Amino acid sequence: MKTIRLGLIGVGGIGQLHLKHALMLPNVEVTAVADSSKSALDRAKGFGIKNLYVNYSELLRSSDVDAVLIALPTHLHLRCTREAAEVGKHIFLEKPIAVTVDEAKEVIASAERYSVKLMIGYPMRFNQHFLKLKDDVANGLLGDVESAHATYVCSGPFVHRADGHSPSPVPDWWFNIELTGGGVLVDLGCHIINLMRMLFGEVVDIKGRFGYRYNMDFEDSAVCLARFSSGTLATIDVGWYSQEYLLRLDLLGSVRHATVEHMPPPTLHALAQMLTKGISSFNMPHYRELQYFVDCLQNDFDPFPSGLDGLRDLEVISKAYKNSLSL
Amino acid sequence: MSFVSLVTIPQNTNNPLQDAIVQSINLIDYSFGTGVRRVVIKPNLCYYWDCTTGQTTDPFFISSLIDVLRQRIGYDIDIAIIESDASAMRCKYAFRMLGYEKLAKEKNVRLVNLSEDSSNGIDVSCNGRNYNFLLPKTIADADLKINVAHIKYTVDPIKLTCALKNIFGCNPYQKKFKYHNDLGNVIVALNKAMPFDLTLIDCNVAAGVQPRKIGLVMASKDPVALDVVAARIAGLNPDKISYIALAEREGVGTRTYVAKGGEIEFYRALYPRITFIMKSKGRVKRVLVKVGMGRRLGLE
């Protein structure tokens, strides 16, 4: 099997996790890392990465890279994707696909124009519990799913204290809606919308009620009501206001109900998983999505979630913003 | 010997917080004096955590304090709420996110980011070491300086964040982590460089190992005495918190106190104290985070 030479662009929070997973994957060689932060590059150097770049364009010019994993701030997604496509690098792009729907279309067009593969990072699509739920829904085990409730709350970019270690600085771009494209509905909501589209088909209509607890220009909580092509009515409840992490789907069917969660395991449990499997169950979906991306490159499959998936999610979010409810 | 007052926020009055603040100040026989024109209030803003976490001062507490100050001193006094940028926190976002921008508009007070304030150097010695800090003009010019702190646990060897530690946030230097290896000395040195006239504790929601509403307001002119009482409430031995003893040696205050109002034991029973098992778990997690396994274990 051909070894995939991977370049990582952006090794901040999520990029660093991808780097660790990429180093664990068989048939993957991380040949280069680019990041504008010197400390991020130093961390990458600590993992034995030899080719380190402050400017990602230099990484893209490297002939040692077959594919790139882009984990940059959202406003840089289009520019970086376009440059990567132009030089024929396959692309794994972190969600959300872009700041706006128009930019998302350009991202897809760039990948198509230069015939490179484009995958959008939605790790929950690789969570085995959600995948089983998909099968159960598709196989009619739940009957007609009349309603579904999705909850995803955490502290988002405002990382809370975890037993004494210091809080993380929040990069300025997070506070600028022009650079993010929105608030929590973009950041967390896109995961939920993507999952629900996997379960119930396309969104026919959506309305949203947005909360501004932190007095910023972007919403820090959102409750959306969505109707799917399957007929399911769903609530999408997302927030950055909670110190406690919760990601849960409740499905109410005419035959059975189902609840699936994605939660960090207790520390000792996670430690045991790390020692036995090298990875905790919480991060397994991230590992699997990267593994799948590499499989697609090796076997010449078109990966999913595709750019079109990312675009659809952004269109739904855009519609929810337009159909804002006041209660 | 210093007075430290402990007052429970009343339930059935029109202005419970105002009443508690007034009572706590009266119990320590504090007088605002005459000729006060400029007042600074230093709340405890910690990152972007709102007051429900118990980590930051409730803007409503500050709002009530402003009302008390205007009633007691005069309606034309200039009030500035001060804070500085920190390693992980930017004032411009914290003021907005934590409700202080809204408060400043409603109460017509100024918000001052000390990191952007003009300042002069000030030399101070502490524990045989010499320090040079920047003294922000807003603090230097104030006739009355009020420290509004919280009672919180923090990392060893400091253990406790309360009156003395809150003044650490008056240092306009942003990258404060550079002081963390010498934190006790720096806290005391800053308290010597910028002595505050009055300290209030907003312990309506206590932080502890988890937030808990205990409805306590405290006051003292002496931050050292207040920290001793706060340590007892948090279940810590104040004699084992070295910077409190250092503050006394350096003349910042005294560890000898007279508690007035409520009983320390009553609030100690309510405070969500840390247990040995929690401490041990915390240490294990910190080690895991330190060796870079935090994110992979879902701790970050």
- Six-digit token pair at A32? 């280069």
**pLDDT recorded at residue B109:** 98
CB spacing of B47 vs A175 below 8 angstroms: no
Predicted confidence band at A12 (pLDDT cuts at 50, 70, 90)? confident
DSSP state of A266: P
Chain centre to alpha carbon of residue A138: 24
CA distance A187 to A182: 8
In B, minimum Cα distance to A169 occurs at B88
CA angle B11, B16, B21 (to 5 degrees): 130
- Six-digit token pair at B206? 């206590």
- With an 8 Å Cβ cutoff, the interface of chain B facing chain A consists of 47-50, 53, 55, 87-90, 93, 96-99, 101-102, 155, 177, 281-282, 284-286, 288-290, 293-300
CB spacing of B298 vs A264 below 8 angstroms: yes
Across residues B11-38, what is the average pLDDT? 95
pLDDT at A164 over 50: no
pLDDT at B14 over 60: yes
B295: closest CA of chain A, how far (Å): 7
Residues of chain A with C-beta less than 8 angstroms from the C-beta of B177:
166
pLDDT at A162 over 50: no
Hey, is the C-beta of A175 within 8 angstroms of any chain B C-beta?
yes
CA distance B39 to B41: 7
CA distance A4 to A294: 7
Consecutive H or E run containing A67:
strand A67-70
**pLDDT recorded at residue B296:** 63
CA distance A63 to A76: 23
Q: In what order do the strands lie in the sheet with A221-228?
A: A203-211, A221-228, A233-239, A145-153, A246-253, A257-261
Residues of chain A with C-beta less than 8 angstroms from the C-beta of B300:
159, 162, 165
In B, minimum Cα distance to A19 occurs at B296
3-state SS string over A74-101? HHHHHHHHHHHHHCCCEEEEECCCCCCH
CB spacing of B286 vs A159 below 8 angstroms: no
**pLDDT recorded at residue B186:** 96
Residues of chain B with C-beta less than 8 angstroms from the C-beta of A213:
50
Which own/partner contact pairs does B253-256 have at CB distance under 8 Å and 24+ positions apart? B253/B2, B253/B222, B253/B223, B253/B224, B253/B225, B254/B1, B254/B2, B254/B222, B254/B224, B254/B225, B255/B224, B255/B225, B255/B228, B256/B1, B256/B2, B256/B225
B236-282 tens-digit pLDDT: 999 999 999 999 999 999 999 999 999 999 999 999 987 777 777 77
Of B47, B96, B286, the CB nearest to A165: B286
Residues of chain B with C-beta less than 8 angstroms from the C-beta of A216:
96-97
CA distance A6 to A60: 11
3-state SS string over B121-167? EEEEEECCEEEEEEEEHHHHCCCEEEEEECCEECCCCCCEECHHHHH
List all residues of chain A from 98 to 137 with a beta carbon under 8 Å from chain B: none
CB spacing of B295 vs A165 below 8 angstroms: no
Residues of chain A with C-beta less than 8 angstroms from the C-beta of B279:
none
**Beta bridge pairs of residue B217:** B7, B202
A47-61 tens-digit pLDDT: 999 999 999 999 999
CA distance B25 to B203: 15
Hey, is the C-beta of A166 within 8 angstroms of any chain B C-beta?
yes
Phi then psi dihedrals of residue A278, to 5 deg: 80, 0
Least confident piece of the model among A28-32, B32-36, B56-60, B280-284: B280-284
Residues of chain A with C-beta less than 8 angstroms from the C-beta of B90:
172
**pLDDT recorded at residue B300:** 56
CB spacing of B48 vs A164 below 8 angstroms: no
A214-255 tens-digit pLDDT: 999 999 999 999 999 999 999 999 999 998 899 999 999 999
Peptide bond into A73 cis (omega under 30): no
DSSP 3-state of A9: strand
DSSP state of B173: -
Check residue B163 and give left, alpha or beta (phi > 0: left; psi -120 to 50: alpha).
Answer: alpha
Nearest to A187 by CA among A313, A57, A6: A313
pLDDT at B176 over 90: no
CA distance A195 to A315: 15
- Six-digit token pair at A145? 């799913």
CA distance A314 to A296: 24
CA distance A243 to A154: 6
Hey, is the C-beta of A159 within 8 angstroms of any chain B C-beta?
yes
Residue from A213, A215, A269 to probe the interface with B (highest B Cβ count within 10 Å): A215
- Six-digit token pair at A208? 């949203």
Q: What's chain B's average pLDDT? A: 93
Phi then psi dihedrals of residue B243, to 5 deg: -70, -20
**pLDDT recorded at residue A270:** 80
CB spacing of B296 vs A283 below 8 angstroms: yes
Residues of chain B with C-beta less than 8 angstroms from the C-beta of A279:
296
Hey, is the C-beta of A24 within 8 angstroms of any chain B C-beta?
no
B157-175 tens-digit pLDDT: 788 999 999 999 999 998 8
Hey, is the C-beta of A169 within 8 angstroms of any chain B C-beta?
yes
Answer whether B54's CB lies under 8 Å from B150's CB.
yes
Give the other-Cβ count within 10 Å of A23's Cβ: 14
Amino acid, single-letter form, for residue A89:
K
Answer whether B277's CB lies under 8 Å from B284's CB.
no
* Distinct helix (H) and strand (E) counts, chain A: 12, 12
Answer whether A237's CB lies under 8 Å from A191's CB.
no
* DSSP state string for A103-137: HHHHHHHHHHHTT--EEEE-GGGG-HHHHHHHHHH
Least confident piece of the model among A141-145, B131-135, B236-240, B274-278: B274-278
Nearest to A255 by CA among A120, A139, A175, A176: A139
Answer whether A159's CB lies under 8 Å from A166's CB.
no
Of B282, B284, B296, the CB nearest to A274: B296
A30 vs B180 pLDDT, higher one: A30
A69-102 tens-digit pLDDT: 999 999 999 999 999 999 999 999 999 999 999 9
Residues of chain A with C-beta less than 8 angstroms from the C-beta of B210:
none
Residues of chain B with C-beta less than 8 angstroms from the C-beta of A267:
281, 284-285, 288, 297, 299
**pLDDT recorded at residue B298:** 59
In B, minimum Cα distance to A278 occurs at B296
Give the other-Cβ count within 10 Å of B191's Cβ: 28
Residue from A165, A172, A242 to probe the interface with B (highest B Cβ count within 10 Å): A165
B258: closest CA of chain A, how far (Å): 32
**pLDDT recorded at residue B297:** 64
Residues of chain A with C-beta less than 8 angstroms from the C-beta of B296:
17, 20, 274, 279-280, 283
CB spacing of A158 vs B294 below 8 angstroms: no
HSE-up of B224 (CA within 13 Å, CB side)?
23
CB spacing of B47 vs A13 below 8 angstroms: no
pLDDT at B220 over 50: yes
Answer whether A59's CB lies under 8 Å from A65's CB.
yes
**pLDDT recorded at residue A316:** 98
In B, minimum Cα distance to A164 occurs at B155
- Six-digit token pair at B264? 């320390």
**pLDDT recorded at residue A163:** 41
**Beta bridge pairs of residue A259:** A250
- Six-digit token pair at B170? 């008056």
A22-37 tens-digit pLDDT: 999 999 999 999 999 9
